[in-house]
Amino acid sequence: MSLAVIDTETTGLDTERDEILEIAILDENGDVLLNSLVRPTRHTEWPAAQRIHNISPEDVANAPTLTDLAQQIHDSVDGRTVVIYNADFDSELLKGYLGGAKEIRCCMEAYSYHQETITGEPWRRHKLVQAAYDADHDWGQDAAHRAIHDASATLTVWNWLDRQ
C-alpha cells in the first residue's frame, strides 16, 4: 500500500483559528516526502504551543507559507492512502490540500479500537507517545512534538497495528 504519513505542529488546538507551523510527510518506507517549517499568516506568537514543540516565531520567520507548499503537499499525497495520528485535527487544518489522496486513515482511531479489543476498555483518545511505546518505536535521540519524529512514530504504530 502506498502511504503518505503526515504530522503537523501548530500554533494551538483550535482548527478554526490555529495554523500549521511544521509539516512532515513520510512514505510507507519512512522516506521523507516533505519536511518543512511553515510560516503562519495570521499568528505572530503562540507561547503555550511553543512550550510543547519549541518552534518559535523566529524559527518560522523565513519559512514558506502553507500555500507556498501546496504543490509539494499535493505531490506527496496524490494517489496515496494518507495516515495521520489524529486525522480529524490535522486533516481539518489541511483542508483543501489533501484532495488527491486515495483515502485518509486515522492511526489514533485504529490504535484505540485495537486497545478496546485487547483490554475491553471503551474507545478513547490515546496519545501518540503511548501508542508508539506499545509499538516499540525507537525515538533514539529524537523527541516527540516535532513533525518529522511524530510522523515516524505514527508510521511505526501503523505498521505494528497492521501486523496484529
Long-range contacts formed by 136-141: CB under 8 A, 24+ apart: 136/160
Q: What SS3 state is found at 115?
A: helix
The CA-atom distances, in angstroms, between 113 and each of 1, 107, 109, 117, 123 are: 21, 10, 6, 6, 6
pLDDT of 145 reads 86
Domain total in the chain: 1
Summarize pLDDT for 44-98 with one digit per residue, the tens.
999 999 999 999 999 999 999 999 999 999 999 999 999 999 999 999 999 999 9
Query: Is 50:6 a contact under the CB 8 Å cutoff?
Result: no
pLDDT of 141 reads 80
Say what the pTM is. Answer: 0.96
Q: Which domain holds residue 116?
A: 3-163
Task: Work out the number of other CB atoms within 10 angstroms of the CB of residue 76.
Answer: 24
Summarize pLDDT for 100-142 with one digit per residue, the tens.
999 999 999 999 999 999 888 888 889 999 999 999 999 988 7
| CATH label of the domain that carries residue 79 | 3.30.420.10
Summarize pLDDT for 3-59 with one digit per residue, the tens.
999 999 999 999 999 999 999 999 999 999 999 999 999 999 999 999 999 999 999
Is residue 143's pLDDT more than 80? no
For 93, the grid coordinates are 487544518
The CA-atom distances, in angstroms, between 62 and each of 1, 9, 11 are: 36, 17, 16
Phi, psi of 8 (to 5 degrees): -130, 160
The CA-atom distances, in angstroms, between 73 and each of 26, 47, 127, 142 are: 11, 27, 25, 24
Query: Is 8:147 a contact under the CB 8 Å cutoff?
Result: yes
pLDDT of 150 reads 97
DSSP labels, 46-87: -HHHHHHH---HHHHTTSPPTTTTHHHHHHHHTTSEEEETTH
pLDDT of 103 reads 98
Place of cell 489533501: 98
